[in-house]
Structure 1
Amino acid sequence: MTSAGARAERIAGLAEVRAERPGAVAEAARGRVRRASLLGGSGRLMLVAADHPARGALAVGGDPLAMADRGELLHRLCMALERPGVDGVLGTPDVIEDLLLLGVLEGKVVIGSMNRGGLAGSAFEIDDRFTAYGADAIAASGLDGGKMLVRVDDDDPATVRTLEACARAVSELAGHGLMAMVEPFISRRVEGRVRNDLSPEAMTRAVAIASGLGTTSAYTWLKVPVVADMERVMAASTLPALLLGGEVAADQGAAREGWRRALRSPTVRGLVVGRSLLYPPDGDVAGAVDAAVELL
């Protein structure tokens, strides 16, 4: 386990490496030791998510810029990745490449975030274009899969462009034999902001739509929130699913209990959690991660 001082020194040196040796990113990707199988021996996955900043979503709790300090974010990610039971990370190229340069992704599952063009709060949020990883880049970088967000707004014509792009990405990832992690929502614009409908009926419809994207679903996984009547929601598909952590809850115990109940579904195979673990209310990253791993 790396000491806090040594970690801080390496994080501080990232800017110099990037400026003077940009080829070091590709070198680190080529040299990374990959895990033999996605699920490993446990049959479960515990991933830490860090793709929020690329959508301009930097807020945690009452702090609108909590995730804006990249050094602090990387420090927290390194702490999380060092904890027993954490299988890997989900992130955009900039974050993944920082972690590669820090050498903390050896033997980890690494999922690249793909469509970040629907910036949080923007007028074009539903038109979620692919502005980060593409399937070919994910394969070339030796990553284990790609994640995409699918928000269906029946009143916004931009929805169909996002659906088409995600279907193409699912097919292309499958062509490389890589996981396509699809995060679906039924959404609508309320007072100028896109809001996700978390009712069981809406999530059941979202799961059904996401399951049919692409020319094959052989490599498709779902990423879903914990909502009411999860048994009914998860019955809409046979695809394996991971639970997303969502916003930081004031009552972390209640949030974990929701994850515990949802993990009983036969299709739910693990967790993908970001802010809830990286920025817990009490500041104890290791404790929050360990409590989540215990559920698995």
Structure 2
Amino acid sequence: MALENNLLGLVHCTQFPGPGNTNSVLRGEGRRDYVINTLQWIINDADFASVEITRIKSPSVRREVERLFTQAREADQLQEIVYSAQPVQLINEDDIVLPSDICSLDEHERAKAVRRLKDCIDEAYDYGCDKFAFYSGKDPAIMAAAAGEQADAMRGEALAQLRRSVHELCQYLFEQATLGGKPPMQPLLEVFDYRVNPVGTMAFKEALLGPAARAEQFVESIRNYYGHKQFALMIDTSHLLISGEGPQTLKALSPYLGHIHIANTVLNRNAPDAKQRYGDLHPAFNAPESELTADVLAGYLKALVECNYKGTIAFEIKPIGSEVPEDVATAAKAFYFACRNRIDVNYSLVTNYIYQTRRFFTDDLWDKLSELRVTQPNLIKERMMQRSQREKLTPDGKLIILAADHPARMVANVGDDAVAMGNRFEYLGRCARVMMASSVDGIMGTADVIEDLVLLDYLFQQKSGKNFLDNRVLIACMNRGGLAGARYEMYDRVTAYRDVKKIKELKLDGAKLLLRLAVPDPYDRYCIQTMEECSRGIEACNEYNLPVFLEPLPVRQIDGKYQLILEADDLIRVIGVAAGLSHSSANLWMKIPYVDNYHRVALAFSGPILMLGGESAGSPVGVIEQFVRGMGEGLNVRGALVGRNVLFPGDDDPAAVAEAICELVHKGVSANNAVKLIAKIRGRDMDLLPRE
């Protein structure tokens, strides 16, 4: 599960704000029994390993809390304690300092605010805290209703004051740790929202920090100019939502993330209980009109996975009215775990990984391959005749086959790149990567692709003494005459491997035929002619006891182009036609794309079916989920034939994606475990091919 090694925490002072959900704990005035019992509840919950507390005014209660934390650490029930000074700053009891707090333009006010936080630091060290969190204070420019150059000048001065304050606090943290013989706490500046409150409301914090770009520049200055390398940011999802900042903000701030709050917000002033939920009030995750939906949270969590975030993730929730804090926390965990376990969250390209074919298949190897084509053309047949074949097509009754026949029918596009598969260096390199670094059963292709792999297998054996084509299934593609975009595209003649006898002689293990039916259509007579070609091909394969893989597809013309119809009823009709071709279907395998209601499709043919993955979507998540579903839709669904969706899976490693699909087909792993496997093996064995 994604983020399963990150500490999970709870903000005590908001989760348990006081009896009846009043604010006594936030004010530091919580009754002894309430404070101790609620902290104990967090400690006893095995999922929470981190707790955030704020000021406690009573010395006797503080001492009990200290003892409680010591016992919890000794019992390994608590791994982290965070002191949150933000409630002290925001409540600003008796208006001790200006709301601009430690970024105040008034030096006297700034110094008072720093002194108050130093008192909090002393208390935090008494608890044995690991982190100390605070916030910037209100933006003086917003407070003064300044605009334009005046606002820019005020913010510039306020940022200078804030830098000075943070430097003093970091110094004090280190000094006090040294005096007490304790590890220094990590300073965390929480980034709040900077949204201006509507007249007559106090829903938003109007903080100086503030926008992500401003926070990024600020933390850089503290680390690089002052040398406080441990200084980091605390990011709260509710503040991101209020400020309109999405997952990309987390990625941009990834080098500076020290602590994450998962929190909700309601931004509809007419929502139920809006007085207690609107704005920066951290309502329960299931509150009406919530901005933190499952999809939104999944987006933030995916960003954290992709930036390899290792820190704490804590819930900040404030129950209202008759809501039971313990129930709210339990529901929050369930919501978070469900989002964390989503396949789109678990599939992530960590640290901006990009697969590069040249790191696997080098230019020197390409040159050697080209040289062999010129100097030893007969080597291809020799190697094919020497190749060891499987005794059985499929030892376990299942198959994963790589498809590499698209370019021969003038289909070379991948996504927006119209000729991606036309680059033979790239295409062959990716095919070789899948064949060598995954356990796919074999490959289906035209002669040129298969022969390139045969020569590559020879070069590999020359260097390593091993080969990768023995006991793999090699399937010959026969009809490629239906050129994409041609007027008579539906007449798909046998133009590739034309002679089944030759297929058998070359020790290939089967043949593939494509049958597209556009009925009714002005050119549907060509579909019937292709049916005859396919029927003859199946008959010839039967003569030599070769399995034939038939791909029957319903298509229709849209804007002059034939497009696949991905509907169960249409697939069922064309399967019925395909199954009736030739004098026997004994050796027939069907290749059928996955669609909704696939169980109905599977019932259209009693023989084995391989699912098709379709075009590349830039991410393998969708096709993995489809294949998991499809494998459960009928015992005759026996695997998949994969092409562009595996060879070009966005920036990912084709071999890792192929291996994940092998695992789900041959071993029945779940979609989540399949994407975890991708992350685990991505980029492995990049040096398999010989190098000079």
TM bracket (short chain):
over 0.9
What is the TM-score with the length of structure 1 in the denominator? 0.95
Residues 613, 643 of structure 2: 8 Å contact kept: yes
Q: For residue 504 of structure 2, what is the amino acid of its counterpart?
A: A
Picking from 212, 219, 229, the partner of 2:580 is 212
2:515 aligned with 1:150, yes or no?
A: yes
| Candidates 35, 54, 57, aligned match of 2:411 | 57
Tell me the alpha carbon deviations over residues 61-87 of structure 1, each in whole angstroms, 9 at most, x when there is no partner: 111111111121111111101234311
In structure 1, C-alpha distance between the alignment counterparts of 2:651 and 2:501, rounded to whole Å = 40
Shift of 1:58: 0.7
Distance 1:245 1:84 in 2: 17
Q: Corresponding residue for 2:614?
A: 246
Where in structure 2 are the equivalents of 1:154-233 lying within 5 Å? 154=519, 155=521, 156-233=524-601
Higher strand share: 1
Q: Specify which of 421, 426, 429 is matched with residue 75 of structure 1.
A: 429
Q: CA 1:8–1:81 in 2, change beyond 3 Å: closer, same or farther? A: farther
Q: 1:15 to 1:195 in 2, by over 3 A?
A: same
Q: Which residue identity lines up with residue 26 of structure 1 in the other structure?
A: K
The worse-fitting range, judged by mean Cα deviation, of 164-173 and 95-104 is 95-104
Aligned to 2:492: 128
SS in 1 for 2:420: coil
Answer with 17-26 or 238-247: which moved more.
17-26
- What amino acid does structure 1 have at the position aligned with 2:641? V
RMSD, aligned CA: 1.6
Distance 1:252 1:48 in 2: 15
Distance 1:43 1:4 in 2: 35
1:12 to 355, 363, 367: 367
Aligned residues: 293
In structure 1, distance between residues paired with 2:386 and 2:448: 18
Percent of aligned pairs sharing the same letter: 38
Match of 1:119 in 2: 483
State the alpha-carbon separation in 1 of the partners of residues 404 and 366 from structure 2: 16
Aligned to 1:269: 638
Q: Distance in 2 between matches of 1:209 and 1:100?
A: 36
CA distance in 2, matches of 1:249, 1:72: 18
TM-fit CA distance, 1:220? 0.5
Pair 1:66 & 2:430 matched: no
- Three-state SS of the structure 2 residue aligned to 1:81 is helix
Does structure 1 conserve the Cα–Cα contact (< 8 Å) formed by 2:438 and 2:656?
no
Distance, in Å, in 2 between the alignment partners of 1:273 and 1:24 is 29
Q: Give 2:386's match in structure 1, choosing from 26, 31, 39.
A: 31
Q: Which whole-Å CA distance do the structure 2 matches of 1:53 and 1:192 have between them?
A: 21
1:102-153: CA deviation from partner (whole Å, max 9, x where unpaired): 1142211000111000011111110000000121221121101000100112
In the alignment, residue 285 of structure 1 is paired with which amino acid? P
Amino acid at match of 1:61: G
Residue in structure 2 matched with residue 288 of structure 1 by the alignment: 657
Correspondence 1:260 to 2:628: yes
Contact 2:555–2:565 (CA under 8 A) maintained in structure 1: yes
In the alignment, residue 142 of structure 1 is paired with which amino acid? Answer: K
Contact 1:60 1:67 survives alignment (8 Å): yes
Hey, what's the Cα distance between the residues in 2 that align with 1:102 and 1:196?
35
SS at match of 2:596: coil
Distance 1:249 1:5 in 2: 23
Q: What SS does structure 2 have at the residue aligned with 1:224?
A: strand
Residue type at the aligned position of 2:379: A
Whether the 8 Å CA contact 1:11–1:74 is kept in 2: the answer is no
Q: Which SS does the other structure have where 1:157 is aligned? A: helix
Question: Whole-Å Cα distance in 2 between the matches of residues 129 and 157 of structure 1?
Answer: 13
CA offsets 1:241-290 (integer angstroms, 9 cap, x no match): 11111111245323211111111211111111011111111232122112
The answer to whether the 8 A contact 2:360-2:429 is kept is: no
Say if 2:556 and 2:564, in contact at 8 Å, map to a contact too.
yes
Partners of 1:178 and 1:281 in 2: CA distance: 35
Structure 2 unaligned regions, length at least 5: 1-357, 458-467, 666-692
Matched-pair contact (CA < 8 Å) for 1:241–1:267: yes
1:141 corresponds to which residue?
506
1:158 to 1:93, Cα distance in 2 relative to 1, 3 A: same
Aligned AA for 1:13? K
SS of the equivalent of 1:142 reads coil
More helix by share: 2
Tell me if the contact between 1:12 and 1:71 (Cα under 8 Å) persists in the aligned partners. no
Aligned AA (2:488): F
Which structure has the larger Rg over C-alpha atoms?
2
Deviates more, 1:282-291 or 1:102-111: 282-291
Seen in structure 2, the aligned counterparts of structure 1 residues 138 and 7 have a Cα distance that, compared at 3 Å, is: farther
Report the equivalent of 2:447.
93
Check whether the contact 2:592–2:612 (CA below 8 A) recurs between aligned residues: yes
- Does the 8 A contact of 1:223 with 1:242 survive in 2? yes
Structure 1, unpaired ranges of 5+:
none
Does structure 1 conserve the Cα–Cα contact (< 8 Å) formed by 2:438 and 2:658? Answer: no
Q: CA deviation at 1:24?
A: 1.1
Q: Distance in 2 between matches of 1:6 and 1:150?
A: 34
SS in structure 2 at match of 1:111: strand
Q: Secondary structure at the match of 1:195?
A: strand
For 2:359 and 2:390, the matched residues in 1 are separated by 26
Tell whether the 8 Å contact from 2:478 to 2:497 is kept in structure 1 after alignment: yes
Q: Distance in 2 between matches of 1:259 and 1:6?
A: 29
Structure 1 CA distance, aligned partners of 2:578 and 2:441? Answer: 25
3-state secondary structure, aligned to 1:129: coil
Whole-angstrom distance in 1 between the partners of 2:440 and 2:363: 21
Separation of aligned partners in 1, 2:418 and 2:360:
27
SS of aligned partner of 1:49:
strand
